[in-house]
Amino acid sequence: PRQLQPPSLTPIRALLDITLIANVQSLSRSDFFLSCVVGERDVSDLQIERDNKIVMTHPKMGFQNYRNRSNQVQARGFSKTDVVGILYCLGRTPTEQAQVVYVHNSHNAHLFPVKATQSVNVAETATFSARILKRKETDVMWKRNGTYYQTTDRGEVQDDHVVLTLPNVSVNENGVYSAAFMGDSPLLSAFYRLIVRGELPWLPGDWGQPYPALWQVALWPPLLSLQPALQRNGDHPVKKTVLTV
């Protein structure tokens, strides 16, 4: 009789459970910090970095990483410019890796997001809305991951708000969005993070190599589900991402 062979097993690339905390209620920039904690203890690499491609600042950043424990790192000492924009926490173990993206908006910005982080399913509609804190008689330019996306004519602005609607979204529209008046500094933009829950047919890059900052952990290996939790006071003070296979 023919002997049955056991089924071949495909290794599953697991991801880390990362909690990112930002004390956005601090009264001064000198007291502001970002803290990143992972559930695992054997973290070989854990750091908080700034994405300097979408919002470019001086390469000599003011903030420093402090490894409080083996599974926790804290970033402090932010300057006025390098605290605004996109930062992310990257964690690695010998077998796992993940990163969480954080967007920080300036209270001096001319546009400010009504909701900075939005999670939608594939084929749903995503809507970004920004309050106009300082009106300018110019059009509003929207960008996705630092690249021009769309323009809102000044005549379309209503009730001191500017809106961008993305119908029937796909995983390709996942990323960081921004809105700014034409001619404004990028530091005065309204920043958003869009997470599109779905599956990717393939995982970009080679395992073990650094991944682009804007790939959301929700979309890494196929068949992963994202469960957002612990979001106090809007979007920012606590972000926890729990991934399950």
Q: How many angstroms separate the CA atoms of 57 and 144, rounded?
A: 18
Q: How many angstroms separate the CA atoms of 187 and 189, rounded?
A: 6
Q: How many angstroms separate the CA atoms of 162 and 188, rounded?
A: 15
Choose between 212 and 25: higher pLDDT.
25
User: Using 50, 70 and 90 to split pLDDT, how confident is the model at 26?
Assistant: confident
Averaged pLDDT, 108-125:
94
Q: Can you give the pTM of this predicted structure?
A: 0.70
The 10 Å Cβ neighbour count of residue 228 is 15
Tokens for 165, please give them: 């609607």
Domain map (residue ranges) of the chain: 18-106+198-244, 111-192
18-106+198-244 and 111-192 share one fold: yes
Q: Please give the share of the chain, as a percent, with pLDDT higher than 90.
A: 37
N- to C-terminal Cα distance for the chain? 37
pLDDT in tens, 190-218: 999 999 998 544 444 443 333 333 333 33
Say which residues have a Cβ less than 8 Å from residue 41's Cβ, sequence separation at least 6. Answer: 70, 71
Q: Which residue has the tokens 């682009």?
A: 212
Which is the CATH superfamily of the domain at 18-106+198-244?
Immunoglobulins (2.60.40.10)
pLDDT higher than 80, residue 99? yes
Tokens for 176, please give them: 């960081």
Which is the CATH superfamily of the domain at 111-192?
Immunoglobulins (2.60.40.10)
pLDDT in tens, 140-191: 999 999 999 999 999 888 889 999 999 999 999 999 999 999 999 999 999 9
